[in-house]
Amino acid sequence: MSETKFEPKIIAFLCNWCTYAGADLAGTGRKEYQANVRIIKLPCTGGIDPLFLIKAFERGADGILVSGCHPGDCHYNSGNYHARRRWNVFRPLLEFCGINPERIQFSWISAAEGGKWVETINGVVDAVRALGPFEGYQKLNTMGPDISGEAATSGETG
Amino acid sequence: MEKLLNKNSFDSLITGLKKQGYKTIAPKKDNKLVTLEEIQDANEISLDHVITNNSIKEFFFPKTEKILSYTIEKNKVEMEEPEGFAVKSVIFGSRPCDAFSLPVMDKVFNWDCSDKFWVERREAITIVTVACDKCDSYCFCTSVGLAPDAKQGSDVLLTKISNDEYLVETVTEKGENLVKELESVFSDPPSGTPDRQVATVEKKFEIDKVKPWLDDNFQHNVWDEFSYKCIGCGACTFVCPTCHCFDIVDECTMTKGDRVKNWDGCQFTMFTMHTSGHNPRSTQGMRWRQRIMHKFKYYVEKFDSTLCVGCGRCSRVCPADMNISEMLEIIATEENQPVSKE
Amino acid sequence: MIEELRKKAEELLRSDTVKVVFGYGEGSTPERTRPVFITKPEDVNKLTWNKYCVYNLTTYLKRQETRKLGKPAIIVKGCDAKTIIVLLKECQIKREDVYVLGVTCDGVGEPLATKCKACDVNTPRIYDDLVGEKIENKEIPFDERYAELDEYEKLSEKEKWDFWQKQFAKCIKCYACSSICPLCFCDRCIVDKNQPQWIDPSAHPRGNLSWNVTRAYHLAGRCINCEECQRVCPVDIPLNLLNKKLAKETEKNFKYRSGYNIDDELAMSTYKEEDNQDFFK
């Protein structure tokens, strides 16, 4: 167990209309990408509460990707614009609290950009792998009750 | 047993405690607050304050504590109770009011069933109190039947007799054993009557007059009028050494979890909120009344003891300057008794 | 000034313009004041004004107990008046339901509160009536306004993490920070919701981080820097640093300052097509 290589756990919050479809396209196009990502599909990036990200870290995520439609392409017209405002302040807040911003990444990927999805997710996985497990946050679980669930085992390798 | 402790011996006291396997908790100054916390070194100890920011209660009844963990499998639930929570410790430099809160709370934690978390910690922890040599306008221990050099609840009482010297008096067997264990640290008590430096805490009200008034005035305008400024934050209940309400939550996933006991307080709207949405204590006045009634009426009726030790912390931290002794003065002073306006 | 304030309050109550005056009264020590609620003209002598009037009384606009007293006149300093602007923008109060009694102020607290160090609202930006000599509001450059953050922003990632973990470890989850906040006005706070439980109610490090980050974030682009959260924290967590950081980012990215102009669109409920997206892939 102690010898196993660290494999980061990445949670991706994707909008239903663009990035999720883009990831789907990558799949149907039989493009390969690193299997470290767990996708959570949501209607729109505008509906992603920053608490989702905090919860993901609590449950043992090493890195997070939030991705949606390009500006101007939102299925609900302005959801991604509102989301962008939010991340513009939330990201510096986490950074201010000592969380490496590389652990939370953002992208715009359309339904046609299967290639960009592959590239982006590989980039996120590599970046987080280089950072190592998010020990700081996972240690918070050991001080409170451990709720990181079965998946927490990957964190123990670090 | 009487002994003498010199400030210069604090160092050997702390080292001695460590050698005997005690964890030491003492007042420590950090930024602007003096907090009771674990220390490693005698020079961390601060004794110049009136009272520590936190009360002694968190070492017996922590702000959050796991009481049970469980795993759920198919047709099977396994439970595990925590162990090793009671660590042999000494609390050095608590105040007499804090120490007295322990026997007061023993009554409720040993009432219909005995709370093992409380009881085992009570056994494991020895209390070395330092009598107050100063006080501030929020202190009112003398009004609730205590004194700045009261012994109840302490195992050992230290009283300042000069700038560097403390008179050591053992109060319980546990305290006596502790002093014996560390005999070399202490010297013989001075002959004659030492000059005890003890603060004079002004008596603000007659406690005997409080309960009779409370018995008659569950409905009274003063509850609302006094608490308009209250913002319902509950900080008073959290810093109080005798407030002991808690909430139990499960922090869990689908297959495993922990049952956790957390501090809770009667000043919160949510404290009494029913599932239906109905709230029997719907206004802050009612919640304020509950705090006073619990401390000075219900607890007295049930356990024959006031649930307040006069430390004054609630009034010090209150963001809106609600002052509990002021309220009790209003209640206890006859000519000052508010007239209900119909 | 006290006399003028009392006279004004008396007039308002006598003429039945308002039913109650939210003001400052003498506290339990000379270094404190306390909120008072004056309903009778003969009680106006309970009002006071001094450098210890640190409270932001607008928080009583959200409390049902004080709302029930009827239309209030509320004594506000320049900083507190910003809350009125936000509450109006966020439809929490109607302009005609509150009589804003502004006071000019050249700093409160002893020692001087941090919020007063780079004050540019000595004279309130909104009021129905003003008490005290009018003070010209200064223009203070961006860097100076957020100077307090410099020493923390300079820290390394690990130092930041350790600093905040040490601070949050003290948290006892009394929620005084949100109870006092005039802009934390949800009927039911997210921490009090448990289906699902987004934020652990326990005061352990994980629950404390989630709570403190979420509290701060919910005030992003809204906080007007009255510093009440920090003042009331019974364990002395420098909460306002988080709020200030968010205010700085809001201003930097969206050129928006909360509570300054009633005509500005609220930062977090609007957007511009050209908003910053440097960090998007």
For chain B, say whether C205 makes contact (Cβ under 8 Å). no
Residue of B104, B170, B135 whose CA lies nearest to B316: B135
For chain B, say whether A142 makes contact (Cβ under 8 Å). no
Q: Bridge-partner residues for A63, per DSSP?
A: A10
Task: Return the number of other C-beta atoms located less than 10 Å from residue A96's C-beta.
Answer: 24
Which of B107-112's residues contact partners 24+ apart within 8 Å by CB, and which partners?
B107/B303, B107/B305, B108/B244, B108/B299, B108/B303, B109/B61, B109/B244, B111/B303
Q: Is the pLDDT of residue B21 over 90?
A: yes
Alpha-carbon separation of residue B237 from B13, B55, B57, B234, C239 (angstroms): 34, 11, 11, 5, 21
Query: pLDDT band for position B31 (50/70/90)?
Result: confident
Alpha-carbon separation of residue C2 from B115, C13, C25, C107 (angstroms): 55, 16, 11, 16
Alpha-carbon separation of residue B34 from B45, B238, C236 (angstroms): 10, 16, 11
Average pLDDT over all residues of chain B: 92
Q: Which two tokens stand for residue C13?
A: 């109550």
How much of chain B, in percent, has pLDDT values that exceed 90? 82
**Using the beta-carbon criterion (under 8 Å), do B321 and C207 form an inter-chain contact?**
no
Nearest residue of chain C to residue A59 (CA atoms): C206
What local confidence, expressed as pLDDT, does residue B169 receive?
94
For chain C, say whether B241 makes contact (Cβ under 8 Å). no
**What ipTM goes with this model?**
0.91
Tell me: do B178 and B218 sit in the same domain.
no
CA C134 from centroid of its chain's CA atoms: 22
Q: Would you say the C-alpha torsion A116, A120, A121, A123 has a positive or negative sign?
A: positive
Give the DSSP per-residue string, C100-169. Answer: EEEE--S--TTTTPGGGTT---SS-SS-SEEES---PPPP--HHHHTGGGHHHHTS-HHHHHHHHHHHHH
Domain limits at B43?
Answer: 2-185
Nearest residue of chain A to residue C208 (CA atoms): A140
Residue C31: which H helix or E strand, with range? Answer: none
The answer for C33, left when phi > 0, alpha when psi is -120 to 50, beta otherwise, is: beta
What local confidence, expressed as pLDDT, does residue C110 receive?
85
Q: Which two tokens stand for residue C87?
A: 């509450």
Q: Is the pLDDT of residue B236 over 80?
A: yes
**Using the beta-carbon criterion (under 8 Å), do A150 and B255 form an inter-chain contact?**
yes
Residue B192 is assigned to a structural domain of this protein: no
Q: What is the pLDDT of residues C229-280, one digit of tens each?
A: 999 999 999 999 999 999 999 999 999 999 999 999 999 999 999 999 999 9
What local confidence, expressed as pLDDT, does residue C192 receive?
87
Tell me the nearest-neighbour CA distance from C242 into chain B, angstroms: 19
Q: What is the pLDDT of residues C196-217, one digit of tens each?
A: 888 988 999 989 999 999 999 9
Tell me: do B311 and B180 sit in the same domain.
no
Sites in chain C below the pLDDT cut of 50? none
What local confidence, expressed as pLDDT, does residue A152 receive?
38
What local confidence, expressed as pLDDT, does residue B342 receive?
45
What local confidence, expressed as pLDDT, does residue C196 receive?
83
CB pairs under 8 A between A and B: 20
Tell me: do B15 and B160 sit in the same domain.
yes
Q: Is the pLDDT of residue A133 over 90?
A: yes
Q: Which CATH architecture has domain A10-138?
A: 3-Layer(aba) Sandwich (3.40)
Tell me: do B161 and B240 sit in the same domain.
no
Tell me the nearest-neighbour CA distance from B134 into chain C, angstroms: 17
Q: Would you say the C-alpha torsion B165, B166, B167, B169 has a positive or negative sign?
A: negative
What local confidence, expressed as pLDDT, does residue C247 receive?
96
Nearest residue of chain A to residue B249 (CA atoms): A145
Distance CA B132, CA B154 (A): 13
Strand, coil or helix: B65? strand
Residue B159 is assigned to a structural domain of this protein: yes
Residue B201 is assigned to a structural domain of this protein: no
What local confidence, expressed as pLDDT, does residue A151 receive?
41
For chain A, say whether C207 makes contact (Cβ under 8 Å). yes
Tell me: do B212 and B331 sit in the same domain.
yes
Q: What is the DSSP letter of B117?
A: H
Residue B190 is assigned to a structural domain of this protein: no
Distance CA B40, CA B25 (A): 9
- Predicted TM-score (pTM) of the model is 0.91
- Residue for token digits 């934020």? C199
